[in-house]
Each structure stands twice: as structure tokens, then as C-alpha cells.
Amino acid sequence: HETGPIQRTDAIIVGAGFSGLYQLHLLRDRLGLSVRVLEAADGIGGTWYWNRYPGARCDSESYYYSYSFSRELEDEWDWTERYPEHGEIRRYLDHVADRFDLRRDIQLGTRVSGARYDEAGNHWTVTTEAGERFEAQFLITAVGCLSSANVPAIPGLASFAGAWYHTGRWPHEGVDFSNKRVGLIGTGSTGIQATPVLAAQASHLTVFQRTANYSVPARNGPMDDEFKAWVRENSSELRAKAREAPNGHPFDFSDRSALDVSPQERQAIYEAAWERGGLRFRAAFRDIMLDKDANETASQFIRDKIRSIVEDPETAEALTPRDHLFATKRPPIDTNYFETFNRENVTLVDLKTTPIEAIVPEGVRTRDTTYPLDVIVFATGFDALTGPLLALDIRGRDGLVLKDVWAAGPKSYLGLQVPGFPNLFTMTGPGSPSVLTNMPVAIEQHAEWIADCIAHLRERGLDRIEARPDAAETWGAEVDRAASATLLPMASSSWYLGANVPGKPRVFMPYAGGMAHYRGICERVAAGGYEGFSLR
């Protein structure tokens, strides 16, 4: 049903998380466009609006998991912890929305159900579930990459007598786990964050693990005054370092190979990296993500750590990852994850030996037994990258449907545009390096590139930009090449490959050539008059 008058603006942005907020600021306040942001949730924050599960916090450190475009914003905001918790990130984004007066152009509680390009009028018509219609020359998706919750189709879920939740759709009032028998399915970054917190609250926690995972201690802690002062003093340098880094983190990457040092020296370097903690463990040697033998030394170090932490040898064995190498799936970081399996009230179920057969009214039934549960928590991840975009039902020129165009896997130019879909920009989409990057760094680059592109069109009296098919083909080959130059495609069960969603095409989706390199490519494309795009 379509009701009401069509509401017209220059641009429509879908999503009010980190991406949508900054894109709105740029298009409205720097370019002077009229902009409408449509957001499905009842609040801003995107990922951080939805992910409120126990233990939810960012794996990037707070002082660089934030916008860098405004020095004033940076100076007036104080982070309390090394890794910000979900609530603190929401408060930060609320502050940004207020500070830049963004709310007046954001319409909450508005879920987009379709977007159609009109060739004759050269505009996009966006429809919402409530039947509203919006029209704009430019459509920008800022819907996130990990926002379509993946609840596995386990038979019997509807029959479960208790309550169940997906971590990415967490009830805002919270869940009381006291005196509850809780089952947690999934041991990715989310399950690994949630496990220790759930174990502390529940009467019993059963963790259902399909793939054992590597994890490095986060070493979270309060931001003390000394550290805050250091961050302020070094802010410009830290931001510059993040911009120039392969993953948007201001890490000092070692220039040494893990294979060029003695075993004793290597062990000492890994021990120091383990003590320091966090995602920067990867930076201990330059070739951990590039060379199988080098990576194996890191993988083995973590396997040994797991065995040294987990007291029960059988549990330790089941927790030891063997199916993939360290960080070839998104590497989690944790606070007492492995230690939690030493608690009396925690049980690990290895689904590789006893798969889940069904969910029954009283709990989860595996091949050999039934685990009675009051609550099931699905930490089973997302239909990553393509899921949120396909949910918008985007239709371009000549009746092209994005879902059909991407049936064999996503194709894009620079991860920013898709041939056949003029004036549509996809922030943090497949083909962009965003999910392999400290996200705000990728987001700022995307938003600025898109704003510059629209400014370029307007200054020249042009009204349409569309990626050329040959450019998208070439970019697809570059995405493949970049992935093959790393160890990332080796993890056959990773969501980078779409492997976690049954029936999804197995294509390595993110651009693995590094954020800084990607930024350079995008800058050259723009400087060359938007090479690979047709401008009209």
C-alpha cells in the first residue's frame, strides 16, 4: 500500500549509525543538500542500537573507534574504558547527533521496503513498510555490514518453552539470567564476549560450539588520566597512523618475519603481544596474515595458551581450533573467555562430535542427549555485507533487481557502486575493505568520497553517475587477487565468504588489499575524473 504525498529531497540515506550520521553531516552541512535519513530502529546508533547483549563492546579501542573529522568533538569527549561498551558508544553517537544538529533530518521507526530507480525522472523512489514514499536524486545505503541477524533454521525452535534471543536483536530492557539455565549457540566474537558475562549471571551456562576459535585477551580496563592525556597529546599522530595503516588501527606493525627469529625470541614476542592484548596481536610479525608457516607459529602459540588455561583436558582439546588458522576468520578478543570453562556452572558442547538435532520444548537436543534450558541465546552472527542491502529490495535501470544481479555473489566498483544502479552509493558494502578495518576509518573515507563525488557532479552540472560494467569486472578481479595474496580465503567457514548462511554464494566479499591502499585507489579514480564511471 502506498499512501501520502511523495516527500522529495536531494538525497536519501538509509541508516543512522556511524555511516549515516556522518554522511548526513557532509551532504547537508558541507554541500547544502536537502537530505532525509530513514532509520528502521527507534533510535540512532545502528549496530550499537541493536547489539546490547551482555558483554557487548567494541574490539577497536575507544580513542580511535570514533570520528576523526572534528577536533572539537574529539576534545570534548572522554572515553571511560579502553574498549567502549555498547551503551557508551550509543551515548557518543547521541552526542554527535545533538552536537551537529542531525536529528531533525532523521526519521526513526521507518523501515525501507523498496527502492526503485526511475530512468525518466533520474531519481530514486524509496518506499517504507508503513507505506510512505520518498524521492531523491541520490540514494546512499548506510545499513551496515553485520545487521541482518542470522537465526539458524534449527527444527523445533517454535516449540521451545523458554525464551530465546539473537544477540543482534537484544531486548532493551535486558534479560534476567539469574537462576536460569542458559544455552549459548555460537562462539564467534559475540559468543566469546557474552560467555563470561552470562556464566556470571546464570545458574548454568551451556556453550554450544560448532567451530573452536582463537581468541586473545582484550586487556580491557579504565582509561586512566595519564593515558587520556597521552591520547590527547598524540591524537593527530594516532589518527594519521590509523589512516595510513592497512586496517585502520594505529598499530605498529613489526617489520620482522615470524620465521626469521629464534624459537625463544618468537615465544618472547608472542608472550609480550599476549600480555598487551587486543587485535594488535596480529601485528607481532609482519607475515602472520600472509604466510602459512608464519601464521602457524601464532596459531600454535594460542593453542598452547588455551591448553594452559583450561583445566579439564577434554574441554581444552575441544576448545582448541584446528579447522582454520588464526585470524583467517574474524579474530575475537576476550575478557576471561577460556578461563570461564573452569567454572563449575559452565559446560562446553562440541557440536562437531554431537551436532544439534532439534530444539525441543525443554531445551536443545544433540545427537546423544537433551540439554534442559530456560533461555537460548543465538550468537550465530549475520548475513554479512549483502544481507542488509538485499533486504532493501533495490531495483535499478531497466528493471534490474539487485538480488538477481548478485545471485552468484556481489559485484561492485570499489564497493561503492553497482552497474545498472545509477546514483546509488553503498557505504561499507561488499568489495569495500570496511569489515577488515577499524570501521570508523573506512566509514569516514566512504562518506567523504561520496560527498566529493556528488559535489563534483553538481559543480559540473552533471546529474548522474554510474559504475561501468568493465570497471566492476576489473574491481572484482582485484578483490579476488587481494584476497588470494592473504591467508583469509583459507577459512572455509568464514562469513567473509558467506559460508555461515546456507545457500549463500561462496565468494570472498571484502577487499583485502588494505584500507590505505584502497584509499589511494579511490583518490586516483576521483582525481582522474571518476575513471570507470559513466557521468552524464
Cβ atoms of residues 81 and 223 within 8 Å: yes
CA dist 254 and 89 (Å) reads: 30
Burial pattern 324-338, b for ≥16 Cβ within 10 A else e, equals bbbbbbbbbbbbbbb
151 touches ligand NA7 by CB under 6 A: no
Nearer to ligand NA7, 89 or 126 (CB): 89
Per CB under 6 A, the segment of 23-31, 280-288, 392-400, 493-501 that binds ligand NA7 is: 493-501
Secondary structure letter of residue 23 according to DSSP? H
49 touches ligand NA7 by CB under 6 A: no
386 touches ligand NA7 by CB under 6 A: no
152 touches ligand NA7 by CB under 6 A: yes
Grid coordinates of 231: 591520547
188 touches ligand NA7 by CB under 6 A: yes
Per CB under 6 A, the segment of 105-113, 272-280, 333-341, 376-384 that binds ligand NA7 is: 376-384
CA dist 246 and 313 (Å) reads: 38
Interface pattern 89-128 for ligand NA7 (x via CB under 6 A): ----------------------------------------
Q: How far is the CB of 235 from ligand NA7 (least distance, A)?
A: 25
Query: In the chain, what is the greatest distance between 2 CA atoms, to the nearest angstrom?
Result: 72
498 touches ligand NA7 by CB under 6 A: no
351 touches ligand NA7 by CB under 6 A: yes
Q: How far is the CB of 145 from ligand NA7 (least distance, A)?
A: 8
In one letter, which amino acid is 421?
Answer: F
Beta strands in 465-507 (DSSP E): 465-467
Residue from 79, 160, 406, 495 touching ligand NA7 (CB under 6 A): that is: 495
SS3 of residue 425 by DSSP: strand
CA dist 526 and 50 (Å) reads: 35
In one letter, which amino acid is 107?
Answer: Q
146 touches ligand NA7 by CB under 6 A: yes
380 touches ligand NA7 by CB under 6 A: yes
Cα atoms found within 13 Å of the Cα of residue 190, Cβ hemisphere only: 24
Nearer to ligand NA7, 36 or 330 (CB): 330
Q: How far is the CB of 190 from ligand NA7 (least distance, A)?
A: 3
The interaxial angle of helices 515-527 and 225-244, nearest 10 deg, is 50
Interface pattern 190-219 for ligand NA7 (x via CB under 6 A): xx------------------xx--------
Grid coordinates of 264: 625463544
CA dist 282 and 59 (Å) reads: 13
Per CB under 6 A, the segment of 19-27, 136-144, 184-192, 222-230 that binds ligand NA7 is: 184-192
Name the residue with the smallest CB distance to ligand NA7.
188
CA dist 96 and 82 (Å) reads: 20
Residues lying near ligand NA7 in the complex (CB under 6 A): 146, 152, 185-191, 210-211, 330, 351, 379-382, 493, 495, 500
